[in-house]
Amino acid sequence: MSERRLRILIVEDEMLVAMNIEDMLLDLGHEVAGLASRLEPALSLAGEAQFDLAMLDVNLAGQTSFPVAEILARRGIPFLFATGYGIKGIAEEYRSYPVLQKPFRARDLEQALSEAVAG
Amino acid sequence: MASSPLKVGTNEQDMGMSARIRAFDWSKTPLGPMEHWPDELRVALSIAEHSAFPTAIYWGPELRLLYNDAWAFIPGERHPGALGRPGREVWSDIWPIVGPQFEQVLETGRGITALEQMLPIVRNGAEQETYWNYSFTPITDPAGKVLGVFNQGNEITKAVVSERRLAFQIQVADRLRSLARPEEVWAAAAALLGEYLGAARVGFAEVDEATDSLTIVREWRRADPIPALQGRTTRLSELPPAAVAYLRTGEVLAIADVDEILQGSSEEDARVGAKLGVRAVVTVPLLRDDRMRALLYVHDLEPRVWKRSEAAMARDVAERSWAAVERAESQERLRESEDHYRHTVELNPQVTWTALPDGQLNRVSRRWFDWTGTTGLGETWAEGLHPDDREATFEAWGHSVAKGEPYDMEHRVKMLDGRYRWARSRAFPRRDNAGNVCLWYGSTEDIQEQRLAEERQRLLINELNHRVKNTLATVQAIAFQTLKGDISLGEARARFEARLLALSRAHNLLTEESWEGASLERVIADTTAHLAGDRERFHVEGEPVFLSPRAALALSLALHELSTNAFKYGALSGEEGKVLIGWTLTDEILRLEWKERDGPPVAEPARRGFGSRLIERGLEADLAGRAELHFEPDGLRCVIEASRQAIQGREANRV
């Protein structure tokens, strides 16, 4: 169980999956700070919105979410990846961040969130 | 001087010619007693007697014969009876030749010299071809009248014959050298030997002791009617065993008279001999590694005493032919092998090459030239490689050359058109008996297509994995959302299955288009068809739009929810209701409207279910637009607005 209630940004281009993640996070006692399904809105949210942690899908309608990760890293906001590609789909410099292989269980999500927060 | 009868006795046999001449009773000849001989004869005789060179004097009109010791060997068995007799009688066998020569000297009074003169002298009852150098010198009186002929000469038969043999051998060698095929060699050698020996039939047979067979491969025949043996095959074991056993020793078998030999031999042997139809035979066996491999035969129709030199010549020709045939065969094999190599190399899609033990290329097949426009020799091989690949290539090749280990390297080759293609080069060392590398055999193969295919396959597999994982995540979400809330297990199962099927149909549709997208019309048709047996209840109108796979999937699931809802609670739950689906396209936006009509009255639901949520929230994300549900009293209205750029598939982009 998470020790604290996190405000989380979801970057995910599959509506059903996003909805599911949302439900999982709510069930885990967290709050959804925002949802972006495209790179452009994701970049602006990552740069401006207030949240504790971000979950990033890697492939956003054909574009990678690594620019988003770059902004987050600069801002010092923890994040994790959730992707169908697995670790091999992650750019070299971000492989130290937690990676969730889709599909994943609520338990896996919880663990990854802890890891991400712990840095 | 007592005249004595010329009966042969021991003493007489040993007598020198001077004694014989003095013992001879000349008074009974036209020469008369010696004491009355003219000075000319006396002087000539004195010179003859003192000469170590064969010398004879033919005296008087009858050319009566006198000769010295050296000359005594010339007439063979005619000596000593030739003394004092007329030349014509002594030399009846060669008189047609020498008679005219004597006459010429007698008439003209001038001497003559005959060089390499052939004289067919009869010796031991047989005529022999003999060769001579001799001179006839007239002996004249003071008035110039020819009294006799002074003759000096010697036999040069041996020299002439050996010279001829040599000439023949040279001819055979020259002829055989120019021939490239074994059959030509056999044929030419048989003809040459046949002509030289004046034989009736000369041929070569190949012998295979393993299969007990003897095959006549080539034969020469004189014009005389004599049966041909060429092409015939017989069993070695059918030949007279004694003859075969003798031939196996490698010796030449010469038979002067077959009939004589066969007298008293077995009936079987006689039958074989008769079958040959000849009387004289020379057979030369050709052995290799103690096995009889071939035979040369010389046949004559009449009995013939074969001279040693003739048998020797037959053997000589046989050996020369065999050597020439072996050379021709090995050349043929070499040619075949070279031809094979050339075809292998030229028709091979790979570049084949060889390199010296130090790694230097010494042969590169033409294909390299076809690829790069250079020979591949010297520096041009390295220049044909991509600059980034050269160092690694040199290193790998250097390592292989140093260690004598197989070489295997992939690198890019610059083609004539300037483009690079991936190639794989491999080489293996050939070693000599001492284990040292004597040559490298290498090949370079174009693997560009293979590389591209491998790359495509790798991408495909990654993509497949990604899609499967994403689809599973979607399925997970559907299951999660379906099972949520207050719902019976049976209902949940039915809804879950229906949603999975909707997803599956959308996948089918996309697969048909190779996952490049799907037309909106097809998405609608596929989603609604299974629900309304009567297509009339759906009124679909709109211009063609090609959707991206994501948009197609999202709309499929959304339309599935709308249809299911309409069928259960909305317009399609009654008999009369219908659904109007229409859309319009602007430069920016696709606006799609779903409107239900003539169904039961509609009221806003107390609680939004999965379907509503999926439509309102999900489409927003997937279509980069918005979706609104209006629960109008005469029927549900759903308005979907999507960014045209976000939803359009590749086909639309192509248009």
- Residue pair A112/A34 in contact (Cβ under 8 Å)? The answer is no
Who among B469, B477, B617 is closest to A84 (CB)? B469
Q: Which site among A9, A16, A63 would you substitute to test the B interface, given the most B Cβ atoms closer than 10 Å to its Cβ?
A: A16
Query: Residue A101's beta-bridge partner residues?
Result: A83
Strands B361-364 and B213-221: unpaired
Q: What distance in Å separates residue A119's CA from the closest CA in chain B? A: 26
Q: How far apart are CA B272 and CA B53, in angstroms?
A: 54
CA A41 from chain centre, in angstroms, equals 14
Question: What are the residues facing B151 on neighbouring strands?
Answer: B56, B136
What pLDDT, in 10s, does the model give residues B298-349? 999 889 889 888 999 999 999 999 999 888 888 888 888 888 877 777 777 8
What is the C-alpha separation between B283 and A6, in angstroms, rounded?
114
C-alpha B294/C-alpha B537 separation (Å) is 100
Does CATH number 2.60.40.2890 belong to domain A7-118?
Answer: no
Asked if residues B136 and B102 have their Cβ atoms less than 8 Å apart, the reply is: yes
Mark yes or no for CB contact B475/A19 under 8 Å: no
Tell me if residue B421 falls in helix, strand or coil.
strand
The ipTM value here is: 0.86
Long-range contacts of B368-371 (CB under 8 A, 24+ apart): B368/B444, B371/B413, B371/B415, B371/B416, B371/B446
Q: Do A17 and B473 touch (CB under 8 A)?
A: yes
Interchain CB distance below 8 Å, A16 and B613: no
Query: Half-sphere exposure of B323 toward its Cβ, with a 13 Å CA cutoff?
Result: 10
The CA distance from B59 to A93, in Å, is 134
- Asked if A23 lies within 8 A of B480 by C-beta distance, the reply is yes
Specify whether the CB–CB gap between A112 and A1 falls below 8 A.
Answer: no
Tokens of A89: 């789909």
- Amino acid identity for residue B289 in this structure: D
When scoring B475, B480, B556 by the number of chain A Cβ atoms within 10 A, the one with the most, hence best to mutate, is B480
Q: b/e map of B410-437 (b: 16 or more CB within 10 Å)? A: bbbbbbeeeeebbbbbbbbbeeeeeeeb
Taking the alpha carbons at both ends of chain B, their separation in whole angstroms is 146
Q: pLDDT at residue B161 above 80? A: yes
Minimum-distance CB partner of B614 among A15, A61, A85: A15
- Residue B622 CA neighbour count, 13 Å, CB half: 26
Q: Break chain A into its structural domains and give their ranges.
A: 7-118
Q: Which of the pair, B649 or B501, is modelled with greater confidence?
A: B501
A77-86, B6-15, B298-307, B384-393: lowest mean pLDDT where? B6-15
pLDDT tops 70 at residue B650 = no
Residue contacts between A and B (CB atoms, under 8 Å): 85
* Eight-class DSSP state of B27: G
Q: Which of B465, B466, B614 sits opposite A16 (nearest CB)?
A: B614
State the alpha helices, DSSP H only, in B263-307.
Answer: 267-276
Instruction: Report d(CA B100, CA B23) in Å as an integer.
Output: 32
**Lowest-pLDDT choice from B99-103, B419-423, B619-623:** B619-623
* Amino acid occupying residue A60: L
Per the CB < 8 Å rule, is B550 touching A18? no
Average confidence (pLDDT) over B37-50: 93
Looking at chain B, the whole-number percentage of residues with pLDDT higher than 70 is: 94
Q: Residue B6: pLDDT band by 50, 70, 90 thresholds?
A: very low
Closest CA to B438 of B353, B356, B354: B356
Cα–Cα dist B171/B193, whole Å: 11
- Neighbouring C-beta atoms of residue B80, cutoff 10 Å: 17
Q: Hey, how many other C-beta atoms are within 10 angstroms of the C-beta on B66? A: 25
- Asked whether B624 and A36 are in contact (CB, 8 A), the reply is no
> Does pLDDT of B498 surpass 70?
yes
Does B218 score more than 80 pLDDT?
A: yes
The angle formed by the CA atoms of residues A76, A81 and A82, to the nearest 5 degrees, is 150
pLDDT of B390 > 70? The answer is yes
Return d(Cα A98, Cα B365) in angstroms, integer.
55
Task: Give the model's pLDDT for residue B237.
Answer: 84
Q: Please state, in angstroms and rounded to a whole number, the distance separating the CA atoms of residues A21 and A10.
A: 8
Question: Which candidate in A15, A39, A83 is best for mutational testing of the B interface (most B CBs within 10 A)?
Answer: A15
| pLDDT value at residue B273 | 61
Whole-number pLDDT of residue B274: 65
**Is the confidence at residue B581, as pLDDT, over 50?**
yes
User: Does B550 reach chain A within 8 Å, measured CB to CB?
Assistant: yes
Per-residue pLDDT at B11 = 47
Q: What's the pLDDT at B111?
A: 93
Query: If we measure between CA atoms, which residue out of B40, B46, B41, B96 comes closest to residue B64?
Result: B41
- Amino acid present at B281: V
Q: Are B185 and B176 in contact (CB under 8 A)?
A: yes
Q: Which amino acid is at B420?
A: Y
Amino acid at B63: L
Check if the beta carbon of residue B412 is closer than 8 Å to that of residue B420: yes
Query: In this structure, what token pair is assigned to residue B186?
Result: 């056999």
Sign (positive/negative) of CA torsion A100, A105, A109, A115? negative
B73, HSE (Cβ side, Cα atoms, 13 Å): 7
The structure tokens listed for B121 are: 């002298």
3-class SS of residue B209 = coil
- pLDDT computed for residue A112 by the predictor: 93
Q: Which of B415, B410, B389 is nearest to B454 (CA)?
A: B410
Least confident window among B440-449, B591-600, B601-610: B601-610
Low-confidence ranges of chain A (pLDDT < 50): 1-2
B234: left (phi over 0), alpha (psi -120 to 50) or beta: beta
For B117-134, what is the mean pLDDT? 89
Closest listed residue to residue B196, CA positions, set B211, B226, B175: B175
SS (H, E, C) chain A: CCCCCCEEEEECCCHHHHHHHHHHHHHCCCEEEEEECCHHHHHHHHHHCCCCEEEECCEECCEECHHHHHHHHHHCCCEEEEECCCHHHCCHHHCCCCEEECCCCHHHHHHHHHHHHHC
Highest mean pLDDT of the ranges B211-215, B226-230, B616-620: B211-215
pLDDT-based confidence at residue B653 (cuts at 50, 70, 90): very low
Asked if the C-beta of A62 comes within 8 angstroms of chain B's C-beta atoms, the answer is no
d(CA B363, CA B483): 74
Query: Taking CB atoms and an 8 Å limit, are B474 and A37 in contact across chains?
Result: no
For the record, the structure tokens of B173 come out as 């060698």
Query: Which member of A18, A23, A86 has the closest CB to residue B621?
Result: A18
Q: What is the pLDDT of residue B15?
A: 79
In whole numbers, what is the pLDDT of chain B averaged over residues?
87
Segment B488-502 shows an average pLDDT of 90
- What per-residue confidence (pLDDT) applies to B582? 94
Give the number of other Cβ atoms within 10 Å of residue B373's Cβ. Answer: 13
- The 10s digit of each residue's pLDDT in B395-408 is 999 999 999 999 99
B458 vs A: CB within 8 A: no
- Residues in A closer than 8 angstroms to B468, CB to CB, are 84
Query: In this predicted structure, what is the pLDDT of residue B319?
Result: 92
Higher confidence at residue B14 or residue B591?
B591
| Residue of chain B nearest A14, judged by CA positions | B622
Write the DSSP symbol of residue B365.
-
Q: What is the pLDDT of residue B258?
A: 84
Alpha carbons within 13 angstroms on the beta-carbon side of residue B134 total 25
Query: Could you say which DSSP state residue B518 is in?
Result: E
Question: Degrees (nearest 5) of the Cα angle B591, B592, B596?
Answer: 145
What's the confidence (pLDDT) of residue B652? Answer: 40
In a 3-state reduction of DSSP, which class is residue B267? helix
The pLDDT assigned to B8 comes to 41
All structural domains of chain B: 10-155 (3.30.450.20), 162-331 (3.30.450.40), 348-446 (3.30.450.20), 488-654 (3.30.565.10)
B213 lies within 8 A of chain A by CB: no
Residue B228: the pLDDT is: 79
CA–CA distance, A60 with A69 (Å, rounded to integer): 13
